[in-house]
Structure 1
Amino acid sequence: MTSFINQMMESKLKKAEVTIADQGMIAAAKSQHYEDKFKTVTQEAQTAIKRANRDAQAKLDPA
């Protein structure tokens, strides 16, 4: 009986380890996704700011 319980617990432990590893990979993928998205948004914002600065400067400079 003890052997059966040990086997059952080992099986559950292995499943838990796989689940934990899967969750770690999912978390890493989500983190990378949001880092990439942040970089894109940041680059777009910088481009918009530069464009706005050029437009404003063009309006200030005599033609």
Structure 2
Amino acid sequence: MMLEVKLRKAETAITDQGMIAAAKSQHYEYKFKAMTQEAKAAINKANEDAKAKLDAAHLQFE
């Protein structure tokens, strides 16, 4: 009887740990996607700024 109780508690703990691990994994996946979007936005802005400076330089030399 005591062994069954311990086994049930262990199964519950294992299930809980699995759900926690899945939630953490999902959380970090969302963070990674958001970070990637932020990085893409930063790169696009840097490209636009560089292009604007290049265009301005071309206008000065014409």
RMSD across aligned positions (CA): 0.9
Rounded Cα–Cα distance in structure 2 between residues aligned with 1:43 and 1:9:
51
Q: Which residue matches 1:54?
A: 48
TM-score by length of 1: 0.86
TM-score by length of 2: 0.88
| Runs of 4+ that moved beyond 3 A | none
Alignment match of 1:35 (pick from 29, 32, 38): 29
Q: Deviations over 1:8-52 (max 9, x none)?
A: 001100000000000000000000000000111110000000000
Structure 2: 5+ residue runs without aligned partners? none
Identity %: 68
State the number of aligned residues: 57
Structure 1: 5+ residue runs without aligned partners? 1-6
Q: Aligned with 2:31: secondary structure?
A: helix
